[in-house]
Structure 1
Amino acid sequence: MAENKTEMPRRPTLRTVMAATAGLLAAAPARAAWELNMPQGVTAISREVYDLHMLIFWICVVIGVGVFGVMIYSIYAHRKSRGAKAAQFHESTTVEIVWTVLPFLVLIGMAIPAAGTLIRMEDTRNSDLTIKVTGYQWLWQYEYLDHDVSFFSRLDNLSNQVRQLDSGMQPSSVENYLLDVDNRVVVPVDKKVRILLTSNDVIHAWWVPELGGKKDAIPGYINEMWFRAEETGVYRGQCAELCGRGHGFMPIVVEVVSQEEFQAWVAEQGGALPADARQVADASGAADAGTATDAGTAETEAPAGEPADAKAEAESAAAPAELSKDELMSQGEQVYKAQCAACHQADGSGMAAAGFPAMKGSAVATGDVAVHIDQVLNGKNAMPPYRNTLSDTEIAAVVTYERNAFGNDTGDVIQPADIAAKR
């Protein structure tokens, strides 16, 4: 009877392993450089922080090499096989003094430069620009207190679509995935920008590594920080406080531009220049260089084309208007995907295990429309209020969409005026 023999698998040779590794490396997509150290940044404070970091790092290296060097030498030179015997002593005044004084001197050497940097980090005086930043779950509101500009900044639509369950898209295909926004913070170069931080719900943290510093945004409290960017460019950060299940989708993008570009951006936003900046602009553009401009008149009687008029036109254009059901459904779908799909799912099926009910056939989406509007405006349980983050048109659109999508064929059409009446 023939004997069955099982051939043992052969071990791969070194040449085979090397060839396979080379093939994988060649096929791997190009990736960004793997940074192991903190960035030096584009502000004086961020560079000071980097220098402190490196100073303390090298102090730790020297201490580590010294301590472990003595330990390794002692283990090697005084091993039992060489006949070494343990010393029999208990106290040494000299050793006690040395290991008390040396760490004290090291700490003093680190504390002196660190204290100076901390003092400068907290000095928000003489700022050129003040921005109030309010954290929400999960977006930021920016109010330029000197320029009458205000807007919300949230995760960009493409990243938001890709992050959805079963989106069918790869995060690697999106540039700056989860680090891009729909509205950037725009500031002028070489100007001291003061940030006032607070929160509307839970604790958030505003952090842009290349600008230096990180501060918590705490409900009912205002924190301060500042930066002065010395180079134009786009700098990215994110919320650095665990603020809820959407914490990873709360990026920050700061664009630093020239003073002229900043003034043009303020005008596009319908804002206004401070009185002193407006006087300079008027004086430079006047035919008669000797004509003085009264600051109070410039504030109240700006000529046509000034930012004040632009803002008035924008406010007039933003007045609630009657929209067709198709228009509301189209815009509502966009708002739903951007704001609601993460919890209630793109198909309206919800996530019951996480406490997020389905929109499909729900009592809210098919019941009393007034209750539905009230819940979107004021929130409920884990759902945040949207009265301060969405416009009347956006809320009207998303409520209309939710009441007529996922099989919720109520036929209800909600107009912006209906939302305005409920505020």
Structure 2
Amino acid sequence: MSDSNIEGNAGSASPAAGEPRHLRRVLIIWAVLSVIVVAIWLAVAQFILPPAASSLDSADNFTFIVLTALAVPVSLFVFVFLGYSLVAFRVSGRPTEDGVPLQPRPSLQIGWLGITSLLCLFLLIWGMIATYQETAVASTGKTLVIQVTAQQWQWTFNYPQYGATSQGAQVIDLPVNRPVEFYVTSKDVLHGFSIRALGVRVDANPGQVTTTPIVTTTQTGSYVVQCVELCGLLHSYMWEAVNVVSADAFNSWIVSQGGHL
């Protein structure tokens, strides 16, 4: 293509007569697919996500659903734009001339910047509100305090209010419908303390005590506490069962661990 042709194309701000409006097609395809995929996600999310056993984890699951629903249109736009370009502008054999250069369109640039800025602002506000809600819950006399000590490759759980300790027992108990606060530390290397069903996850740092947000259990059942930071050879075996039980069953378990009521 000659220099004069290139300059002529660069000066054109609208499609030539009879040329399809590619951007409009891309936007229509993207909008339709976004509505369909987001609707499917909202319908099946509750069956895909693990069940929540606390109000904190219920909030985490809801956040995951919302952020995924926001991420779907963004991701789809990239894939639809790429897929449409591969199909609409494909050529057989080696091209004989350069393609028409893209034209600067202030409306597109401003729109793209505005939409992405709004998404980032939404994420910032959502995160700040969620963090405040997690940390605003104050400890009360009813709050169960559990001191958690990690070491290669087991957990030690101390219940100071009851004088009970469980070390390497593979099973610990928590009472249902009672707020719990974990004080987490490590004896040796960095570990990660996590109870997925309760929405609890903090680092266990040597020489430091990290507290978790106060979490209230809402569902009885058996769950898992596990290390989520690579901590050595037997990292994958560093887990125990967590049973959320009734108050009477919890009291019986405390007594069986040598504690007092």
TM-score in terms of structure 1 length: 0.46
What's 1:152 paired with? Answer: 167
Give the direction of change, closer, same or farther, for the CA distance of 1:252–1:116 in structure 2 (3 Å limit). Answer: farther
Trace 1:197-276 onto structure 2 (pairs within 5 A). 197-225=184-212, 226-273=214-261
What's 2:147 paired with? Answer: 132
Task: Give me the whole-angstrom Cα distance separating, in 2, the residues matched to 1:199 and 1:60.
Answer: 36
Q: In the TM superposition, what whole-angstrom CA distance separates every residue of 1:105-154 from its partner, at most 9, and x where no partner exists?
A: 11222333333222233345225100000001111111112111112125
What's 1:110 paired with? Answer: 123
Structure 2 counterpart SS, 1:231: coil
Task: Give me the whole-angstrom Cα distance separating, in 1, the residues matched to 2:202 and 2:116.
Answer: 30
Which of 61, 69, 84 is matched with 2:72 structurally? 61
User: 1:76 Cα shift?
Assistant: 2.8
Query: Which has the larger share of strand?
Result: 2
Structure showing greater relative contact order (alpha-carbon pairs closer than 8 Å, 6 or more residues apart): 2
Trace 1:223-372 onto structure 2 (pairs within 5 A). 223-225=210-212, 226-273=214-261
The answer on 1:143 being equivalent to 2:158 is yes
Structure 2 counterpart SS, 1:252: strand
Task: Give me the whole-angstrom Cα distance separating, in 2, the residues matched to 1:40 and 1:85.
Answer: 55
Task: Give me the whole-angstrom Cα distance separating, in 2, the residues matched to 1:255 and 1:46.
Answer: 16
Aligned CA RMSD, in angstroms, stands at: 2.5
Task: Give me the whole-angstrom Cα distance separating, in 2, the residues matched to 1:248 and 1:123.
Answer: 34
Is this contact kept in 1: 2:166–2:172, CA < 8 A?
no
Trace 1:395-406 onto structure 2 (pairs within 5 A). none
What's 2:55 paired with? Answer: 44
Is this contact kept in 1: 2:189–2:231, CA < 8 A?
yes
Task: Give me the whole-angstrom Cα distance separating, in 2, the residues matched to 1:84 and 1:192.
Answer: 70
Q: Which entry has the higher C-alpha Rg, 1 or 2?
A: 1
Instruction: Provide structure 2 residue ranges, at least 5 long, that are not aligned to the other structure.
Output: 1-46
Q: In the TM superposition, what whole-angstrom CA distance separates every residue of 1:267-298 from its partner, at most 9, and x where no partner exists?
A: 3333233xxxxxxxxxxxxxxxxxxxxxxxxx
Instruction: Provide structure 1 residue ranges, at least 5 long, that are not aligned to the other structure.
Output: 1-35, 155-180, 274-423
Trace 1:380-391 onto structure 2 (pairs within 5 A). none
Query: Aligned residues: percent identity?
Result: 27
Give the direction of change, closer, same or farther, for the CA distance of 1:88–1:232 in structure 2 (3 Å limit). Answer: closer
Task: Give me the whole-angstrom Cα distance separating, in 2, the residues matched to 1:254 and 1:122.
Answer: 23
Trace 1:84-123 onto structure 2 (pairs within 5 A). 86-88=99-101, 91-123=104-136
Task: Give me the whole-angstrom Cα distance separating, in 2, the residues matched to 1:123 and 1:136.
Answer: 30
Please list every run of at least 4 consecutive aligned residues from structure 1 whose deviation after the TM superposition is greater than 4 angstroms.
none
Is this contact kept in 2: 1:239–1:252, CA < 8 A?
no
Is this contact kept in 2: 1:124–1:194, CA < 8 A?
no
Give the direction of change, closer, same or farther, for the CA distance of 1:40–1:103 in structure 2 (3 Å limit). Answer: farther
TM-score in terms of structure 2 length: 0.72
Structure 1 counterpart SS, 2:244: strand
| Counterpart amino acid of residue 74 in structure 1 | S
